[in-house]
Structures are given as structure tokens and as C-alpha cells.
Structure 1
């Protein structure tokens, strides 16, 4: 359901106040489409559908047509109700990784190498391909931590979804080339501990997704400020119905759109 931008900002301000108490040419590859029964209690998705649920902070649950569930930035305080089959993590701080992951998780993908150096993932689990592009981050001391973050890319149902993680800088041309064509970006919009708004908007313009879903807006006013800036930059602002949506290539917006999902827990 679409709501006027001014009304949306008013609604968001109330929710947040209450809570405080040049594109690369690679194309997304469809790995598989039909087959096995759903993995989760959710009604079965069609072969061209991907379920996206905003759990909170930077954690989403992504569900594929075959029922493979993936939790992004899986951690020990904000996580899905049920153990995912795949969990990605990032090394910025403890709300982005787990020291006690559920043993039922089949694939645990670190976005940084705890031993130092690069770590590369390119994994196919039934009908989804998961890969990463590492980026540098800043430590609490202000010093650069090389390769401390990963952008995870999920290729499923003819869609490419990129979770930017705890991104701290603009993307290089090499980063953009490795990303390829991205349809949906899960973007941190806090304007403080990750990218500043100017840099974030530069990233979004370079990646050029059809849809941006904000995350990591725990600072007061962060979401409203991002929406105002995105609207000024020409993005349409849409309020999702709840914390879930189903994405399909056929229904991607023609105009660059920010789709706001409020955290819904597991």
C-alpha cells in the first residue's frame, strides 16, 4: 500500500519516538526455479518469488522458492525465531555477528576472516547462490580494518539482492563490477557508524537498484532524514504493509523506490 510521503514521515516519527523509549554489466543468474516443497511454515512461494522479512537492526530473513531461509548479519541479540539454513555475519561489532550461533545452521558465512586476510564465499544452496565482496571498515579507534565487512549478494528467482553490511566507504569500480546488476539493496541508513548520507546516496546512484530497503536506523531521526534525502534525490517512498514483503522481478518498480519495512522480530 502506498502512502503520501509527508504522512509516511509523520508515521515514522511516531514509531521512532516510541522505539526510543555507473553500473556494472554482470547479470543476475537464475540458479534453479522449481522443485522441492517449502522449508518453512510460510505458504509456499511461487518459483519467481522471494520472501524478505525485516527482523531488526541489520538482520533480515530471506526465503527462496524452495524454502531455503537465510539470516543476514546473524547475531546473539536479534535473530529469526527459527534457525536459518544459512547465516551471514559481519565483523563490525556484536550486533552483526554471533559468538553462539544455533548449531542447526547448516552454512555459517563470515564476512571477515578472523585469522586476517581475505575470505571469499561463492555457495549454491538449492535455488540460491550466495557470494560476497569484502570492504574495509573503521575500528572503534578510527583505524582502518582491512576487509572487515562483506557485502553479501543473494541470487535467487531471477533477482539479485545485496546486503551492504556495515559499509563504511564508497564503492570502487572493481566493487561495482563484482557486484554486477543489483535489483534490491538492503542499505544501512544510520548516517553515523556506517556511511554518511552523501556517501550512501553516491553508492545507491552507482549501484542503481530498483528497490532500496533501509536498515540500521537505530539512531533517532536517522530513517526520517534518509527518507527526506532519498525523496529529494528522486526516489519514490513506499511504506510496506508490515515487516514482510514478497519480491518478484515482474513487480519491481519502474522508478527507483525506497520501500520502508519496520522491524518485526522473528
Structure 2
């Protein structure tokens, strides 16, 4: 078969999941200066144009639903309790507690990304391109019985529509310079504020201040007063309480001042 006809055959008959998703090593738009300036405090880059929009919905606990302009639906810290309908295309999980993962995800979910290595041999590494979203992770440690378990949690980063969106997962310790360098710029940050089951409020606010994201979205709150977190962030950060579970974000609509956004249900 001539080479051109063979290539045409492959493109037409390649199964859809393989055609739309691939493990890639590609330059990250969030890491432009991170490795060169590991001790820097990053600022978000804004454009005058509105750009494509991403919707983010609070589903419950630590699960946010991210919907991309191409229609890719992502559920974070997916346990099967929240964000199941409509069924997500991609789920991320962390194993600190069963409320952050499920061993029995719907087999129809195309991509199940664990924050830990199920084989137990070193950290898990994700570098996945699905339609218009690039997903990568930065591993951290979690508390185990009497000790810290190395690389048991992942900070997942979603790069879509020019935005860098980060979910801290079930973070149990302060971050080192190497973590900040690997994370890079985050325009939207999802941060647990329970004050003890993950990291202390002092520790979480330190991380959020240094990342200096345009939008900070608390989660995993339980009974922690919002003010206990927001006051630690300081006057440089505005706070907005919304009566909806969903926001729409684009590069052109990021707030001019860093803002803590509390969606309904948080």
C-alpha cells in the first residue's frame, strides 16, 4: 500500500480515544519562567482579548468540574459521589481518603488519572493532551500510618484556553522551591481549607499567597470559617461570595486583583 494511502487509512480508522488523547512531552505555557526563577512569586498573564472560556462548577467536597471550550469534562478528586452526571471524560484522584478516589470508576470514563503510582514504583507522571486541554501533575507526600508516604498525592494542573488551573488535591505539607518551579504560574487555584486534615490554614495561605493566582477557589472546607482563611491571605486579596455553583473564566476576564471566590455549596 503506498505510504500516503496508508497514512490516510490510519487517520480515518484510528480509534477515537487514541486519536484525541496522547501522552506527550510538550512545553508548558505555565512554566515559561518557573525553572529559571525558582524562588519567584508568580503573577498571572492577562490579555486584552477575551479569549475562549472555561466553566468551573463546584460539585462537592474537593470535586470541581472543569469544562473546556472543546467540551471536555473533567472531575477533580473524583470519588464517584460528586460530578458523575453528565459523565466526565477525565477524572483525577488522590488516595489520602476514600472521599477523594474510587477503586471502581465507571468504565466508560475515558481517562482515570491517579495522583499516586498504583504499582508503587516511584512517582506517577502524567502528561496528557485531550482535545484542547493539557494535563500534568506534580507529586507531593501524604501522611500514612506513623509516617509520610512519598508521592502519594498529586497537584494536578490543567492548561486550557491560555489558562493555568491548579488543584492542590489532599496536600499535607508545605511546598519547597522545587515544587513551585514544577507548578509554575497558576491563574486559578483550588485549595483545601479544612485546617487540619490536609495542611494547616497557615500553610495553605502561605502557598496561595506565593502562587498569587488571580482566582482562588476554596474546597474541602467542612466547618472552617471562610474568614479564617481569607484573613490569613491579607488585604491584597479580595473576596467574593457567589450565589451560583458555576463560574465562567477566560484570560480576558480574570479579576484585576487576586480574588478568593466562594461558590455556592463551598
Please give the TM-score of this superposition, normalised by the length of structure 2.
0.79
Distance 1:222 1:84, change over 3 A: same
In structure 1, distance between residues paired with 2:249 and 2:131: 19
Is 72-81 or 191-200 further displaced after alignment?
Answer: 72-81
Equivalent residue, structure 1, for 2:254: 252
Q: Over the residues paired in the alignment, what is the CA RMSD in angstroms?
A: 2.0
Instruction: Report 1:102-251 matches (<5 A).
Output: 102-116=106-120, 117-139=122-144, 141-218=145-222, 220-230=223-233, 232-251=234-253
Equivalent residue, structure 2, for 1:14: none
Instruction: Report 1:3-18 matches (<5 A).
Output: none
Counterpart contact for 1:83–1:105, Cα < 8 Å? yes
In structure 2, distance between residues paired with 1:100 and 1:253: 39
Instruction: Report 1:31-50 matches (<5 A).
Output: 48-50=52-54
Counterpart contact for 1:162–1:182, Cα < 8 Å? yes
Distance 1:85 1:128, change over 3 A: same
What SS is found at the alignment partner of 2:199? coil
Q: Based on CA coordinates, which of the two structures has the bigger radius of gyration?
A: 2
What SS is found at the alignment partner of 2:99? coil
Gaps in structure 2 of 5+ consecutive residues: 1-38
State the shift of 1:26 in Å: 11
Counterpart contact for 1:88–1:109, Cα < 8 Å? yes
Gaps in structure 1 of 5+ consecutive residues: 1-21, 29-45
In structure 2, distance between residues paired with 1:135 and 1:86: 21
Counterpart contact for 1:78–1:95, Cα < 8 Å? no
Equivalent residue, structure 2, for 1:57: 61
Matched residue count = 223
Counterpart contact for 2:42–2:210, Cα < 8 Å? no
Distance 1:155 1:24, change over 3 A: farther
